[in-house]
A and B are shown apart, each in its own frame.
Chain A
Amino acid sequence: MSGRLLLTVLVLANVVTALGVVHARHRHRVLFVEVSRLEKARDELNIAFGQLQLEQATWAESNRIDQVARDRLGMKFPEGAEIVVIRP
């Protein structure tokens, strides 16, 4: 009698765990798709950030700043005599 009970329990447990495996596998795939999507979004953002950095660096290129400051803004570097030393 107890042997049959044990068998039933084991069969039931088997079915339950089998369903569990199916479920876990499904969850795994769903989550994997989700993580792939998020990673892709992250990568896109990273790439966009890199491009913006690149753009900023291109605008801030020393040569360009130098020329804009001199030509468009009419700035110049102070001569030694134009610098005033202030003593506290």
Chain B
Amino acid sequence: MSWRNGQRKPRGNDRGRGDPRPSWRSLKELFASDDRRPRRGVRYNPRHRLTLVGGTLALCSVALVGRAFDVQVLNNDFYVRQGDARALREIPIPTSRGMITDRNGEPLAVSTPVESVWANPQELLKHVDRIPELAKLLGVPADYLTRKLGQRADKEFMYLKRRISPAEAQRVLDHEIPGVFSQREFRRFYPQGEALAHVLGFTNIDDRGQEGLELAFDDWLRGTPGSKRVIRDGQGRIIENVDLLKPAQPGHDLTLTIDRRIQYLAFRELRRALLEHDASSGSAVVLDVDTGEVLAMANLPSYNPNDLEGGRQDARRNRAVTDVVEPGSTMKPITIAAALASGKVTPDTIVDTSPGYMRNGPYTINDFRNYGALTVTGVITHSSNVGAAKLALKLSDDYYYKFVRQFGYGSKPGSGFPGESTGVLKSPDQWYGTDKATMAYGYGLSVTPLQVAVAYAALANGGKLIAPTFVKGQRNEAEDIIEPELAHEVLAMMQTVTERGGTATGAAILGYHVAGKTGTARKFSPQGGYSDQYVALFAGVVPVENPRFSMVVVVNEPDASAGHGYGGGAVAAPVFKNVMAGALRLMDVPPDDIETWLAAQADAQAKRIRANGGKPVADAPVLPVTVADATGAADPGLPDPVTVGGAR
């Protein structure tokens, strides 16, 4: 603005004073040559000429002033932008991804900063002599690095090494090679490693969730990077922080319902079972009966989420949620609940299963052996296929279909986990003549391990089905599907399975009543029909009085030739027992079956007395047991180790 006034002023003064002499004289000198040259017909009038010249200059000034006004006041944004672009910079403020913890606050996924070393090839290539030194620091061959740099010679940015520890990056930077810089990034670490890999999933190199809960809750976990405005000098150094445009929003933390300890137990026991039975894969799911919370979900084979290089793709699937199996005999409690709910039978109704097989269209339904006449409870205790089929045949197609569907079979469990499978439950109009009878004992429909766990949790929860959840504090609406009395009745029947004479005594836990059901399903062969590979299942709830946990174990293709059997009772039930025994202890669940415990203790005491030559042994220890006692327990030379636990 100021120079415009300055321009105008001298001109105004000249005119205002009315004394144009000095400039007139100089102009006269300027035009002197014209004066000397005689011109015919043109009358020379200095005043006119002065007006003309003065007017032209004035117009030029007005044009300049107008343009200046236009540029500086009316349309100034272009130059403001250009000026700012040379000095002001908006730079992003990096932020970290939220932490994932288990239900007790133990970290399961943590983001820590790492450094990515990058280079400006244009600048670095001016110092070719230092490339071998840099290559050595990065641990790559010098000619490889030279070639890479050559390919990007016209670029200004190139990653040299991404995601290395800050200390390592500092070692590279300490050499002060021109054109080599480092920037901060965040990397995800999973302290639990492969035990929890499927549930958590993983993130890609840009910190975006790719699988599992990392993907499902990506928006919640991901922070929004902020931005600030700074002034930079010609070399690109930040001189001053000017303004905070947008504060960085760190990602939110996520507390899961998973219990790290139960998860580890489930993973360990499942792995042990897989090794022992030479099985190909397996899943285990533990649910909290009251809330539908997923306490543990383990799958094998697994992978290391901290090192995703290589590894089998199919090991990354969360089989407990995505893979379907035929539920086999674990379906029977639902069939029997349907029969009882219809009012057509009571637990004591006699079902004749002899001769141990039954024609069903072109197929034959076989029992393990001929059980003869069984009560409805006996059908579950002995896992009679014939009995279950006969019970289902008493029910109408539509009624049976709706009843099974209520338990969540054939629909997504709704846990929010990405890629949940619905399983397969055909509606009655797609049934063939034999389908209802085969469904009664768990063939002709498929379910995921999670669906079975949810269904069993509903039986244990007085007939209230709750959709499973992975997020602590989120509780899904309970849905009444069967009468509480009926649920208790079925549970009491399932309790006989793990007691003397049942098919899964391996699942019995000392001090607790366990209700469960084994299942053994033949797998489809790729050629069609059923192969001689099996799926061993066990599904159960514990303790029967006031149930706390519902757990499902699925072991795929156990090798029967290993001599340990292939059925659910032999393969899957011990996993259930070991995990649940640990979980009951960890969660301080009071025993509901003290009598058996006391009896077992009396037995052990009697045995010890016998071993001691009939002399009585010191009775139960006096509380508190000192540390010395506890350490002595490990020494085989000392008397019987005694641990205090159980009832309080």
A→B interface (CB under 8 Å): 29, 32-33, 35-36, 46-47, 50-51, 53-54, 57-58, 60-63, 66, 73-76, 78, 80-87
Q: Is the CB of B644 within 8 A of A84?
A: yes
Contact-residue size bin, chain B (C-beta under 8 Å from the other chain): 35 or more
Known: A86-B623, A86-B644. A80 touches B600 (CB 8 A): yes
Determine how close the nearest CB of chain A comes to the CB of B367; give it in whole angstroms: 33
Interface residue from B106, B228, B243, B643 paired with A83 (Cβ < 8 Å): B643
Q: A61-B193, A75-B634 are in contact. Are A53 and B642 (CB under 8 A)?
A: no
Asked if A50 contacts B99 (CB within 8 A), the reply is yes
* Chain B residues whose C-beta falls within 8 Å of the C-beta of A82 in the assembled complex: 604, 640-643
Q: A54-B112, A62-B260, A86-B647 are in contact. Are A76 and B241 (CB under 8 A)?
A: no
Say if the beta carbon of B621 comes within 8 Å of chain A: yes
B147 to nearest A CB, angstroms?
36
User: Are B242 and A78 in contact (CB-based, < 8 A)?
Assistant: no
For A58, what are the chain B residues with a Cβ–Cβ distance below 8 Å? 191
Provide the residues of chain B in CB contact with A32, threshold 8 Å. Answer: 241-244
B645 within 8 A of A: yes
How near does chain A come to B123, taking the closest CB pair, in angstroms?
A: 27
Interface residues of B in 590-610 (CB under 8 A from A): 594, 597-598, 600-601, 603-604, 607
Q: Which of B252-291 contact A (CB under 8 A)?
A: 260-261, 264, 268
Give the contacting residue for A84; candidates B195, B241, B601; CB below 8 A. Answer: B601
A50→B112 contact, CB < 8 A: yes
Determine whether the beta carbon of A83 is less than 8 Å from that of B646: yes
Known: A50-B110, A81-B604, A85-B597. A33 touches B241 (CB 8 A): yes
Whether B268 pairs with A51 at a CB distance below 8 angstroms is no
Given the complex, which residues of A lie within 8 Å of B511, measured CB to CB? 85
Instruction: Tell me whether A83 and B645 are in contact (CB under 8 A).
Output: yes
Shortest Cβ gap from B169 to chain A (Å): 14
CA distance A84 to B113 in the complex (A): 50
A-side binding surface: helix, strand, loop or mixed? helix
B189 within 8 A of A: yes
Shortest C-beta distance, A51 to chain B (Å), equals 5
Q: How far is the CA of A48 from the CA of B135 in the complex (A)?
A: 30
Whether A74 and B647, one on each chain, are in contact in the complex, defined by CB atoms closer than 8 angstroms, is no
A85, B241: Cβ atoms under 8 Å?
Answer: no
Show 15 residue pairs from A and B whose CB-CB distance is below 8 angstroms, ordered by the A residue: A36-B228, A53-B99, A54-B107, A57-B192, A62-B195, A63-B264, A78-B641, A78-B645, A82-B641, A83-B597, A84-B642, A85-B511, A85-B594, A85-B597, A85-B601
Q: Closest 4 A-B residue pairs measured CB to CB?
A: A81-B604, A57-B191, A62-B264, A78-B643
9 other A-B residue contacts (CB within 8 Å) besides A74-B634, A82-B641, A86-B644: A62-B268, A63-B195, A66-B264, A78-B643, A81-B601, A81-B604, A81-B607, A85-B597, A85-B601
- Shortest distance from the beta carbon of A84 to any chain B beta carbon, whole Å: 5
